[in-house]
Structure 1
Amino acid sequence: MQNISKKYPQIKSYQLKDGTTVFRFTVYLGVDPLTGKEKIVTRSKFKTVKQAELAIEKLKFEFSNGLNPANMLKTFNDSFIKWDASYKASGIVMSTYSKTEGYIKNHILPFFGDKKLSKITVAMCEQFALELSKKLKYFHHIVNYASDVMETAIRHGDIHSNPFKSAKIPKETAHQKSDNFIDIIDFKKLLSVLPNYDLMIQCLLRLLMFTGLRKGELLVLTWSDVDFDKKKLLVHSGYSYSKHNNGNNVGLTKGKLIRTILLDSNTLGLLKTWKQLQVERLDQLGISRKPDTEQVIFNNTVNNYLKLNYPNDYLKTAIEEANIKSITVHGLRHTHITHLREAEADFFVVQERVGHSQTNNTTDKHYTHVTDTLRENTLQKLLNYYKKFDIE
């Protein structure tokens, strides 16, 4: 090898196996302020001396501006791996994670995955968002996930700015207000057909209609969660299926809130009757009843949790018989909240009853500990409202 650059004597020529002459260099850039170590970089296979000289100048410029040459080789996928580990460890419910995983694998990684972080530009981010807007009605959340990965790269010192912050993202179509609820007339019709069904189904649907429970919260209830004397239901867990749960599908409720719901007498009466009948049915199946702390209220034929789709299936059948507008189990939750507001129940007590996270303001803090008196007043307002329509 011989020196062939007056400007950078580090550049040397050499030959490939096919006889082609190319150029390479090993250059000292300085001391990395983050690690305190000297940074020496080697690059090769340049076709001309000029290309090698330009490469050295670029490396020196980037290093002087805080860009580590080793980090310049890192890809979006490298940063995603770090983001993903942090996201999983954040306490996110794994069923929610599964949805996010779909966004990542179907939209984000196919576009950005192999791209060098340092090469991702504002124009690329805008192109990504534009393509999403043509395929999806609501896409901003996916753009935000991609931007979060870039923020992770910044925290780890791989890049110094997030091009998404300067990108012009197309606007989403205005979100339409959900109509996944039923009015008081349809509510009454739905309630009127419940006696036509098996007692367990009656209890299940009525409990959803009169409490606004989430489906996952309903499925894991045990008899120890019902206090028949004090007319209380304790909600502390939820069922959330995901392949990432490794079979441990029961965890904290959404929002990680434990709450107490006061129940009306008719709902409690149905539950008490079902509790007695459940014992007989389990005996018929040759299955021993578990202690109250373990015995789920709504069981399948092997005395385990019902599948997540069953409540919706039961509701769909009842809706068809009642000949009313179609809604989901979550729609019953919206309905319960709507009826509480129509009954002029206190907003903050409604929040506590349905397990919505509270905002961090002074007024909210005043209601942090909702008393039984407030709960009783809220339930009574709802029952008085229903009484106007002959609903019990």
Structure 2
Amino acid sequence: MTIKSKYHSAIKEYNLKDGSKYYRFTVYLGVDSYSGKDKIVTRSKFSSQKAAQVEIDRLKYEFNSGQKPEDMRKTFSGVYEEWDVNYKDSGIVMSTYSKTEGYFNNHILPFFGHMKVSKITVRHCEQFAIQLSKKLKYFHHIINYASDVMNTAVRYEYINSNPFSTAKIPKESVHEISDNYLDIEDFKLLISHLPSLDSMARTVLRVLMFTGIRKGELFVLTWSDVDYKKKTLAIHEAYSYSKHNNGNNVGRPKGKLSRIIFLDDVTLDILKQWQQEQVLLLTQLGISLDKQTDQLIFNNSVNNYLNSYYPNEQLTEVIEALNLKFITVHGLRHTHTTHLAEASADFVGIQNRLGHVLSKNTTTQFYLHVTDKIKRDTLESLLAYYKEHGIY
């Protein structure tokens, strides 16, 4: 009677030159569904037959569950490099890319870089989030970047699920929507910091601060919307991303109200300076314009719409530099509204400037056709208010 070994027949004993004994194996796992080829794996230097058998069982389990054994050894740093290639090609502007690179080098990679993505657990993600929350006031955007790398690992089928998706992340307690605006002194500090920013960032924030337009309305502005002679800005479209839009993300503004608003001289000058610089930057990128008026005012490196988080990152960076209270980009719209009210601007003029639907009651029926005079007076009230506070 032949006694079969409880260990795989492929496990072989071998000796090193110093006489130490080890075990190795070469086993067939099956046909690789990715390549259609036979999958044969060799491993060595096991201290016992049992340890070698455990490894064979693990490899077979991973292979049969659809996970490639070599993918199980992918580190977070390795997946980050793959993610980074796609991120660069997504049309991100280089100033934003540099900041993102800093988030990874300073926070994400020191924690996750050496770890195999298959070994990263929900607990690791929660520990990372807690560690960040103790160092930074605003940290959710950094967690989102780390999670996006793990989503890439899922998409490439290195792992089955993203542990960040079920992790409990501490809240950024400063985000209080009811207080989502800047008072006049903080607004003044923010204005004074704008000249230190690059041209596009400075222009983005200036336009948002002095017009109160929505972020989606900002993204679709073209130079044909600016009339330097009449000193106006036309708002007739807005960008709104949804997975259900089938790529058609540009439509009418919220409330379906197109409008024309008046701009102050400084904002017009800053726009003109950015327009001239943009032409040079596009030329350096090898992008020629058939008709400059159709050019987006704010573009990414492939001359398409800005990524939605660009204004947020610019604002957050300035807020942190000045140690101001946190507000969102939409908070600049709230700030504009608040300052117009504090300036005692015409109520219907405020509604028109912000693109709000006018209520059709007896009092406002007279104003349903908002005249240029009302629009100009609304802006002049705001500028007089700012001048009183040493801003304009």
TM-score (norm 2): 0.55
Matches of 1:208 and 1:144, distance apart in 2: 25
Return closer, same or farther for 1:335/1:122 CA change in 2, 3 Å cut-off: closer
Give the equivalent residue in structure 2 for 1:227: 228
Which digits, 9 at most, give the CA deviation of each residue in 1:43-77, with x for residues without a partner?
Answer: 11111110000000011111111111111111111
Give the equivalent residue in structure 2 for 1:115: 115
Give the equivalent residue in structure 1 for 2:41: 41
Matches of 2:165 and 2:386, distance apart in 1: 56
374, 378, 383: which one aligns with 1:382: 378
Is 1:182 matched with 2:178? Answer: no
Structure 1 residue 119, shift from structure 2 partner: 1.1
Give the equivalent residue in structure 2 for 1:138: 138
Give the equivalent residue in structure 2 for 1:97: 97
Question: What letter corresponds to residue 101 of structure 1 in structure 2?
Answer: E
Structure 1 residue 108, shift from structure 2 partner: 0.7
Is 1:151 matched with 2:151? Answer: yes
Matches of 1:349 and 1:78, distance apart in 2: 52
Return closer, same or farther for 1:142/1:271 CA change in 2, 3 Å cut-off: closer
Contact 1:25 1:43 in 2 (8 A): yes
Return closer, same or farther for 1:130/1:339 CA change in 2, 3 Å cut-off: closer
Structure of larger gyration radius: 1
Contact 2:129 2:169 in 1 (8 A): yes
Return closer, same or farther for 1:64/1:109 CA change in 2, 3 Å cut-off: same
Task: Indicate the SS of the match to 1:149.
Answer: helix
Matches of 1:139 and 1:29, distance apart in 2: 44
Give the equivalent residue in structure 2 for 1:12: 12
Structure 1 residue 171, shift from structure 2 partner: 2.8
Structure 1 residue 106, shift from structure 2 partner: 0.8
Q: Provide the alpha-carbon RMSD of the alignment.
A: 5.1
Matches of 1:66 and 1:50, distance apart in 2: 25
Give the equivalent residue in structure 1 for 2:297: none
Which digits, 9 at most, give the CA deviation of each residue in 1:319-356, with x for residues without a partner?
Answer: xxxxxx9xxxx999875453346643578864579xxx
Give the equivalent residue in structure 2 for 1:283: none
Is 1:66 matched with 2:66? Answer: yes
Which digits, 9 at most, give the CA deviation of each residue in 1:219-255, with x for residues without a partner?
Answer: xxx9xx7632x334699xxxxxxxxxxxxxxxxxxx9
**1:134-283 correspondence to structure 2 within 5 Å:** 134-175=134-175, 177=179, 180-182=182-184, 227-228=228-229, 230-232=230-232, 262-263=261-262
Matches of 1:333 and 1:132, distance apart in 2: 29
Return closer, same or farther for 1:80/1:375 CA change in 2, 3 Å cut-off: farther
Question: What letter corresponds to residue 228 of structure 2 in structure 1?
Answer: D
Q: Report the identity percentage.
A: 52
Question: What letter corresponds to residue 182 of structure 1 in structure 2?
Answer: I
Give the equivalent residue in structure 1 for 2:84: 84
Question: What letter corresponds to residue 29 of structure 1 in structure 2?
Answer: L
Contact 1:11 1:24 in 2 (8 A): yes
Question: What letter corresponds to residue 135 of structure 2 in structure 1?
Answer: K
Question: What letter corresponds to residue 64 of structure 1 in structure 2?
Answer: N
Task: Indicate the SS of the match to 2:184.
Answer: coil
Matches of 2:131 and 2:266, distance apart in 1: 56
Return closer, same or farther for 1:173/1:377 CA change in 2, 3 Å cut-off: same
Which digits, 9 at most, give the CA deviation of each residue in 1:125-152, with x for residues without a partner?
Answer: 1221122222222222222211111000
Matches of 2:166 and 2:208, distance apart in 1: 46
Contact 1:23 1:46 in 2 (8 A): yes
Which digits, 9 at most, give the CA deviation of each residue in 1:102-132, with x for residues without a partner?
Answer: 2111111011111111111122112211222
Structure 1 residue 167, shift from structure 2 partner: 1.9
Return closer, same or farther for 1:336/1:375 CA change in 2, 3 Å cut-off: farther
Note the residue ranges of structure 2 that are not aligned, 5 or more in a row.
192-205, 236-249, 251-257, 273-291, 293-323, 358-368
Count, aligned residues:
276
Task: Indicate the SS of the match to 2:170.
Answer: coil
Question: What letter corresponds to residue 105 of structure 1 in structure 2?
Answer: N
Question: What letter corresponds to residue 39 of structure 1 in structure 2?
Answer: K
Matches of 2:116 and 2:167, distance apart in 1: 18
Contact 2:73 2:116 in 1 (8 A): yes
Matches of 2:52 and 2:266, distance apart in 1: 84
Give the equivalent residue in structure 2 for 1:314: none
Note the residue ranges of structure 1 that are not aligned, 5 or more in a row.
191-205, 236-254, 276-292, 294-324, 354-362, 364-372
Matches of 1:8 and 1:180, distance apart in 2: 70
Structure 1 residue 384, shift from structure 2 partner: 6.6
Contact 2:23 2:49 in 1 (8 A): yes
Return closer, same or farther for 1:42/1:227 CA change in 2, 3 Å cut-off: same
